[in-house]
Amino acid sequence: MHITVEISYYPLLERYEVPVKELLALLENHPEVEAEVGGMSTLLGGEYNDVMNLLTTSMRQLMQSYPSVFNLKISNSCELKQP
């Protein structure tokens, strides 16, 4: 099943740019999951298990290093736009 996830990340730090860049690097360098970075959130698209595994490992890594808040929307009926 194909899903799309909108993820927003709010590290609770003054220098929030560092963990945000870490998250984007983790999300953008995954061959099975398409990532579309926006100003306030990132869209991920792909097969359910691929996307959820990527989210689990990425979020765990950041939460172990930084105080963090994540906001997720998950859909099985919204496709990412093709360029």
pLDDT exceeds cutoff 70 at 82: no
Per-residue confidence (pLDDT) for residue 74, from 0 to 100? 97
CATH number at residue 40: 3.30.70.930
Structural domain includes residue 19? yes
The mean pLDDT value for 60-80 works out to: 94
Question: What pTM does this model have?
Answer: 0.89
Range of the domain at 27: 2-75
Return the structure tokens found at 13: 């730090």
Phi-psi region of 12 (alpha: psi -120 to 50; beta: other; left: phi over 0): beta
14-33 pLDDT per residue, tens: 999 999 999 999 999 889 99
Residue 83 belongs to some domain of the structure: no
Q: In sequence order, what are the residues at sequence separation of 6 or more whose Cβ sits closer than 8 angstroms to the Cβ of residue 62?
A: 9, 11, 19, 22, 23, 68
Q: Is residue 70 part of a domain?
A: yes
What's the pLDDT score for residue 9? 97
Indicate the pLDDT class of residue 55, thresholds 50, 70 and 90. Answer: very high
Strands lying side by side in the sheet with 68-75: 34-37, 42-47, 2-11, 68-75
